[in-house]
A and B are shown apart, each in its own frame.
Chain A
Amino acid sequence: MPVEIPVEKWNGQVHQVKLGGAGGRKELVVGGENTLPFLKFEGNIPHRPAVAIEVVDQPPQGWAEPLVKAWGNVLQDPAAWAKKAAEYGADLISLRLRSAHPEEGNTGADHARKVVAAVLAAVDLPVIVLGPEVAQKDNEVLVAASEVGRGQRLGLGDCLDKNYRTIGATCLADGHVAIAKTPIDMNLAKQLNILLSDLGLPLDAILMDPTTGALGYGLEYTYSVMERLRITALMGDKMTSPPMICTAGEESWRQKESKATAGVPQSWGEQEQRAILWEKITAIGLLNAGANVIVLRHPRTVEDVKAAINKLSA
């Protein structure tokens, strides 16, 4: 008796979003699938998830030892760091303009222009530029970054409900993609997409960041919000159909499990292995929930996550 393989009939599909592909930059397309993550027996998945490596515009404060060890001197120089990231197999670079944070340097638009220009000159990969997560500073440095990268289809974020007009308009004017971030909530994610659409930004110029909870720190919330967003998109809701981006590296390396070198229970095991695995497992969980771009920190995570994506996409 042959078993009939059950296949869902989805009416919708994830929007295709292109990054780079102009101004000498390599093209990267994510999204476009009309089925759940990696279910090739059911639908068409034209593009596999992409792996971004996070680069920070100044030597990062308080990064865990395994990260510092892995990257070494390039932590001092974002352009060299981005180059190294490309060698480690990044599909794109996620550049965080941390130095613009009022507490961590309070640099302004001029500095942002220089750093973004240096990174763009150093690699031909697509680049995402993220602000320091302080609304007014975000606007200042992201608008500057937008001008420098005009026509090169960067990603710009975070685009939040409180600054979506500025970031959305900049993306529209300079031809970039907005990283629309909302706090682990399906309706807020949809709402922000609607607001950006009303502004005139097309859905193929949006990546949704549903806010990443690391393993042990809210992963299950992100996981389920992503599954719900994806299922809703596949059922035909255009306003939940942009691809999703997850900052797995940043979130998992913030946690005690990744940072603590001493004074933790023996049952936590050896730090370096535990910390890297914390990032890897956060990543594999989110990829299975529908992440189209996963932003990572440790080179060994990049290697293993890329291998897993290849196997899942084969």
Chain B
Amino acid sequence: MALTGIEIYKFLPKTNCKKCGFPTCLAFAMKVAQKTVNITTCPDLSAESRAALEAAGRPPIQLVTLGSDSKKLEVGNETVMFRHEKTFFHPPGLVLRVKDNAPADSLQQQVQAAAEYKVERVGRFLTMDGFAVENTSKDAATFAKAVEAVKSKSDLPLVLISQDPAAMEAALAKATPGRPLIYAANKDNWEKMADLAVKNKCPLAVSSNGALDDLTALVDQVSKKGIEEIVLDPGARDFGPSLSTLTQIRRLALKKNFRPLGYPVITFPGEAAASLDTEAMLAAQQVAKYAGIIVLDHFSPALVYPLLTMRLNIYTDPQKPIQVTPQIVQIGTPKATSPVCITTNFSLTYFAIAGELEAAGWAAWLVVCDTEGLSVLTAWAAGKFDAEKIAKSVKNFKIADNVSHRNVVIPGHVAVLRGELEEELPDWKILVGPREAVDVGGFLKQNWKN
């Protein structure tokens, strides 16, 4: 919970000594509240005040970092219940669970396939985030060996799953440095697991199948050991419990500023799912509803591509219009006689028209103009989608080199631009297309002769 200037002021010496560079303590407090100056700039701040300020300034949901600096996974530090209130910041990590008693070859194959996986979407590469190695064998040496095998194929962050502190210690010896997540401290082993987390400087997951009271008590205990980076497993597995419990935890942290549950949550969708698809659906729900780390039990491209797309969608910042790169996009395999259509680079506009052309079975050249991410009418009203701009795109992208005809279709909503555009593009015939993308198939069928 961010403090106001007045609240910060109460902790200051109130001497107006100017040593911080500001005329008064109040002015300084205001700057601290705006986060333009660090509180430590005040040389006379008492140790108690400083501790109190740092505690109060802590984010309501702790940021937890797994992995090494080059390949790290940061989760938590969310500030809202709904993405439209601001945005969600740290996409949940998708990690694949492997078992330490699997044959070495198969283990390494699984890891390699998932580690190398990447899929492109709107110019970004989406990937998996790490691996969870489970001590299924209950044997410390086997566990350690499996961790070594995973690390030989991937430098992605790890989650180490074992209830046995001795096995955990053996695995940690192979996994650190690299800040794996220790999963998990429970009511029986918490003290030893907490000691391991402190000693190895690793984040610690805390697991309890009971009510949130038990989880809270356990978090309090491990916090007293000095552990700051904690991940919660409230034991809720299936669709209903997962939604309710994760909503409650997020609300307690954000609305009640309830410290003991102000941490990201780890989920295991595969444990409640009878099929791969159900596992993916539950994981998709958890992407939207409040998971920090999602441990998958299965990996295949067809399974994770929709899931990674879901994560991309939900974690897109709704405050910024998503733009596609201004360019010529080939819909299908266009020929020299295929239609040329003009659109804006607002992603939703682009997806609408590209999707409709695709659905109607047209191969086409789609000229995406730079309208700074605004839709057709908005961009036109803001002067960012005028005849000059369209003409510039048509010329700059050299669309004339790709086609044998000189016909270009503009969106029906900017029919008024036709006259001006004919002046700007004297070689071209300007066709006014439909207002709505959904009608483009019918329009082309009537007006375009291949």
- Which A residues form the contact surface with B (CB < 8 A)? 1-6, 36, 38-41, 62, 101-103, 133-134, 184, 213, 215-221, 223-224, 227-228, 231, 254-257, 259, 265-271, 273-274, 276-278, 280-281, 284-285, 288-289, 300, 304-305, 307-308, 311-314
**Chain A neighbourhood of B247, CB < 8 A:** 36, 39
Chain B binding surface SS class: helix
Assess whether A215 is in contact with B309, with CB atoms less than 8 Å apart. Answer: yes
Chain B residues whose CB sits within 8 angstroms of the CB of A277 once the complex forms: 277, 280-281, 302-303, 306
Q: Which residues of A contact B121 (CB under 8 A)?
A: 216
User: A289 contacts which chain B residues (CB < 8 A)?
Assistant: 288
Please judge, given known A-B contacts A277-B302, A312-B240, A314-B240, whether A265 and B351 are in contact too, CB under 8 Å. no
Question: With A220-B83, A268-B302 as given contacts, are A1 and B438 in contact (CB-CB < 8 Å)?
Answer: no
**At the interface, yes or no: B310 with Cβ under 8 Å from chain A?**
yes
A102 to B446, CA, bound (A): 11
Q: Which 6 A-B pairs have the closest CB atoms?
A: A269-B302, A269-B301, A267-B119, A274-B302, A273-B302, A311-B239
> Given A215-B309, A268-B119, A278-B306: A224 and B84 within 8 A (CB)?
yes
Q: What are 14 residue pairs bridging A and B, where the CB atoms are less than 8 Å apart in the complex? A: A3-B216, A39-B243, A39-B244, A40-B240, A62-B361, A134-B439, A184-B348, A215-B309, A216-B312, A220-B313, A223-B313, A285-B284, A285-B313, A312-B243
Check B284 against A231 for contact (C-beta < 8 Å): no
Q: Residue on A with the closest CB to B281?
A: A284
Q: How distant is the Cα of A4 from the Cα of B442 in the complex, in angstroms?
A: 58
B residues at A contact (CB < 8 Å): 82-84, 117-121, 211-213, 216-217, 238-240, 243-244, 247-248, 251-252, 255-256, 258, 261, 275-278, 280-282, 284-285, 288-289, 300-303, 305-307, 309-310, 312-314, 316, 318, 347-348, 351-352, 355, 358-359, 361, 438-439, 441-442, 445
B82 near A231 with CB under 8 A, answer yes
Cβ–Cβ contact B303 & A269, under 8 A: yes
**Chain A residue with Cβ nearest B261:** A3
State the Cβ distance, A107 to closest chain B Cβ, in Å.
15
Chain B contacts for A223, CB-based, 8 A: 83, 288, 313-314
Closest chain-A Cβ to B88's Cβ sits at a distance in Å of 10
Question: A307 touching B301 by the CB < 8 A rule?
Answer: no
Q: Whose C-beta in chain B lies nearest to the C-beta of A38?
A: B243
Q: Decide if B281 touches A304 in the complex (CB within 8 Å).
A: yes
- B213 partner, pick from A1, A216, A269, A305, beta carbons under 8 A: A1
Docked-complex contact B285 and A284, CB < 8 angstroms:
yes
A304 pairs with B348, CB closer than 8 A: no
Contact B281–A224 (Cβ < 8 Å): no
A267 and B303 in contact, given A220-B318, A223-B313, A314-B240 (Cβ under 8 angstroms): no
Known: A223-B313, A224-B318, A277-B302. A308 touches B351 (CB 8 A): no
B301 contact set on A, CB distance < 8 A: 266-270, 274
User: Closest approach, in angstroms, between the C-beta of A89 and any C-beta of chain B?
Assistant: 16
A contact residues around B117 at 8 Å (CB): 267
Q: Could you tell me the distance in whole angstroms from the C-beta of A233 to the nearest C-beta in chain B?
A: 14
Given contacts A224-B318, A281-B310, contact A218 B284 (CB under 8 A): no
- Whether A284 pairs with B256 at a CB distance below 8 angstroms is no
Q: Which residues of B contact A134 (CB under 8 A)?
A: 439
Establish whether residues B243 and A288, one from each chain, have CB atoms under 8 Å apart when the complex forms. Answer: yes
Q: How far is the CB of A160 from chain B (nearest CB, A)?
A: 10
Could you say which residues of chain B place their CB within 8 Å of the CB of A259? Answer: 358
Q: Bound complex: CA of A221 vs CA of B313, how far in Å?
A: 9
Residues of B with C-beta under 8 A to A218: 347-348, 351-352
Chain A residue contacts of B313, Cβ below 8 A? 215-216, 219-220, 223, 285
The complex places the Cα of A255 from the Cα of B314 at a distance, in Å, of 19
